[in-house]
Chain A
Amino acid sequence: MRIACPHCGPRGVDEFSYLGDATVTRPTDPADLDGFAAYVHERRNPAGRHRELWQHALGCQSWLVVTRDTRTHAIEAVEAARDVALARAGGES
């Protein structure tokens, strides 16, 4: 498996480390215990299209959001996690 880092180009998967599901969101209310329990533990874990966080740890060290098919390992898109977070926050920089 090769991941096309937006900064470094296509690199072998052993240069990257994996964090997991990129779609879970941290609750804004610090007293939301159920929300935090779900955020930390519960995952959709789909067979198919999965958006996930990787870090180019042995390269430029940037965090990436990779869209990948968990049945075939085929990668559909790689985006900088910063861009994804900014888009989610409404485009402010």
Chain B
Amino acid sequence: MTSDRYSIFSLLRETLNGHKGWRPAWRSPDPKPSYDVVIVGGGGHGLATAHYLASRYGVTNVAVLEKGWIGGGNVGRNTTIVRSNYLLPGNVPFYEHSMKLWEGLEQDLNYNAMVSQRGVVNLFHSDGQRDAYVRRGNSMRMHGVDAELLDVAALKRILPMLDFDNARFPIKGALRQRRGGTVRHDAVAWGYARAADRRGVDIIQNCEVTGFRIENGRISGVETSRGFIGAAKVGLACAGNSSRVAQMAGLRLPIESHALQAFVSEGIKPFIDTVCTFGAGHFYISQSDKGGLVFGGDIDGYNSYAQRGNLPTVEDVAEGGMALMPSIGRVRMLRSWGGIMDMSMDGSPIIDRTPVDGLFLNAGWCYGGFKATPASGDCFAHLIARGEPHPVGAAYRLPRFATGRTIDEKGVGAQPNLH
């Protein structure tokens, strides 16, 4: 496919050469006057959409416009977890499609994304919670997804560091998805960018969309900080900024933007070899290949575009961690950061056309967008190229909020900060 594949030989050559010969993994072209498809937003979802448009649906005259740089948004800010352990019919096939695409991603992109199927273990702490997880596991298995219920003895073998004697939050068992795990998030952005670029997609960084040109109800292009770019079709994949961008096209979305924080500790020796979630509070943890404990919890809970969070949530996450595994108490927190989540009104995403002809929307990923990246890209590309939804993404329609067909995994209603 290309002359500069990464290999042991190229690494040896560059080692001897002082690493002066590496070339950029994708071009930095000037925008053309017009494209068949313009994707607004060069995050994971936008780049995946461009890749699948070019590789699966034969649309190569595509530009991805990114106001910052590739990998600077949520695709580089998440906690890298992938899983497909959902409950509801509209969600399970979609996330399983994503899981299968993750499993073949590195071969598809010819790029090491460090896909690690180390398993995801969701703990439960009460009989009611066990029933809920049994139900979830059954729903997964009926959809052909792997799920297994672990009792305490089995759990002690794989997660011996948990506080099993905690009187307040007793651990009663767990639901485990072995095929879940982690993926190196930056590599996902870079891999998709490189693969899309190879197929002729123009990735244009530092190019902010400032408006849409709409004529007779049909999109004809986008105004940007680098001038007007014509487009027959425009796809929005703007994550936390979806409302702001859609507003320029006169749309008001069922979305609030909220800050979600994530944390990493100093590097320590191998400690936890799976992804583990606490069921009595909101806390989840895994260990990166560098040794840092990567963990997070709830969104901060109020509208925010600040890309940073506040201290009460830091305290809440730390308390969750201490209740679950007190042995991490003396590990130092190295960094924390925030990203802006497009929290939808039912906690599920939107992949649909909009009232403007030729303008398509991919938004509302809440704090679960990373695991969805490949399927989101595939479904959005399918919708843009063929004009109809992909079968596994067909439930994510925009009118569902008005018609009552919402997909509310948590069952809390139209209250984004509770999803």
A contact set with B: CB distance below 8 Å: 1, 12-14, 18-21, 33-34, 37-38, 40-47, 50, 52, 54, 68, 70-73
Q: Let me know if A20 and B254 touch, CB within 8 A.
A: no
Instruction: Give complex CA distance A84, B401 in Å.
Output: 29
B123 to chain A, nearest CB (A): 25
Q: Which chain A residues lie closer than 8 Å to B302 at the CB level? A: 18, 52, 54, 68
Q: Let me know if A43 and B252 touch, CB within 8 A.
A: yes
Q: Let me know if B304 and A73 touch, CB within 8 A.
A: yes
B53 to chain A, nearest CB (A): 28
Q: Let me know if A40 and B414 touch, CB within 8 A.
A: yes
Q: Answer yes or no: B412 CB below 8 A from chain A CBs.
A: no
- Give B122-137 interface residues, CB cut-off 8 Å to A: none
Q: Let me know if B257 and A72 touch, CB within 8 A.
A: no
- Considering only CB atoms, which chain A residue lies closest to B307 in the complex? A71
Q: Which chain A residues lie closer than 8 Å to B303 at the CB level? A: 20-21, 45, 50, 52, 70
B contact set with A: CB distance below 8 Å: 241, 243-244, 247, 252-257, 301-306, 310, 312, 345, 401-402, 414-417
Which of A1, A12, A70, A71 counts the most chain B CB atoms within 10 A? Answer: A70
Instruction: Give complex CA distance A60, B131 in Å.
Output: 38
B68 to chain A, nearest CB (A): 15
Q: Which chain B residues lie closer than 8 Å to A45 at the CB level? A: 243-244, 253, 255-257, 303
Instruction: Give complex CA distance A33, B306 in Å.
Output: 35
Instruction: Give complex CA distance A19, B416 in Å.
Output: 9
Q: Let me know if A73 and B301 touch, CB within 8 A.
A: no
Q: Which chain A residues lie closer than 8 Å to B254 at the CB level? A: 41-43
7 closest A-B pairs by beta carbon, nearest first, are A45-B243, A37-B402, A41-B254, A14-B312, A47-B305, A41-B401, A18-B302
Also in contact, A37 and B401, with CB within 8 A (given A42-B252, A45-B243, A73-B310): yes
Instruction: Give complex CA distance A38, B253 in Å.
Output: 9
27 residue pairs of the A-B complex, CB under 8 angstroms, read A14-B312, A18-B301, A19-B415, A20-B256, A20-B303, A20-B417, A21-B256, A34-B402, A40-B345, A41-B345, A42-B252, A42-B253, A42-B254, A43-B243, A43-B255, A44-B243, A45-B255, A45-B256, A46-B244, A47-B241, A70-B257, A70-B303, A70-B304, A71-B305, A72-B306, A73-B304, A73-B310
Also in contact, A43 and B306, with CB within 8 A (given A20-B416, A37-B401): no
Q: Let me know if B306 and A41 touch, CB within 8 A.
A: no
Q: Which chain B residues lie closer than 8 Å to A37 at the CB level? A: 401-402
Instruction: Give complex CA distance A16, B379 in Å.
Output: 40
Also in contact, A43 and B401, with CB within 8 A (given A1-B310, A70-B306): no
Instruction: Give complex CA distance A71, B303 in Å.
Output: 9
Q: Which chain B residues lie closer than 8 Å to A33 at the CB level? A: 402
Interface contacts beyond A42-B253, A44-B247: sample of 17 additional A-B pairs, CB < 8 Å, sorted by A: A12-B312, A18-B301, A20-B303, A20-B415, A20-B416, A21-B256, A21-B303, A37-B402, A40-B345, A43-B256, A44-B243, A47-B244, A47-B305, A68-B302, A71-B306, A73-B306, A73-B310
Instruction: Give complex CA distance A33, B399 in Å.
Output: 13
A68 to chain B, nearest CB (A): 8
B113 to chain A, nearest CB (A): 32
Instruction: Give complex CA distance A42, B242 in Å.
Output: 13
Instruction: Give complex CA distance A76, B413 in Å.
Output: 30
A78 to chain B, nearest CB (A): 14
Q: Which chain A residues lie closer than 8 Å to B401 at the CB level? A: 37, 40-41
Instruction: Give complex CA distance A46, B255 in Å.
Output: 11
A74 to chain B, nearest CB (A): 10
- Considering only CB atoms, which chain B residue lies closest to A37 in the complex? B402
Instruction: Give complex CA distance A34, B415 in Å.
Output: 19
- Considering only CB atoms, which chain B residue lies closest to A34 in the complex? B402
Q: Which chain B residues lie closer than 8 Å to A52 at the CB level? A: 302-303
Q: Which chain B residues lie closer than 8 Å to A12 at the CB level? A: 312
Instruction: Give complex CA distance A47, B238 in Å.
Output: 14
Q: Which chain B residues lie closer than 8 Å to A42 at the CB level? A: 252-254
Instruction: Give complex CA distance A34, B252 in Å.
Output: 13
Q: Which chain A residues lie closer than 8 Å to B257 at the CB level? A: 45, 47, 70
B261 to chain A, nearest CB (A): 13
Q: Which chain B residues lie closer than 8 Å to A70 at the CB level? A: 257, 303-306
Instruction: Give complex CA distance A33, B241 in Å.
Output: 28
Q: Which chain B residues lie closer than 8 Å to A41 at the CB level? A: 254, 345, 401-402, 414
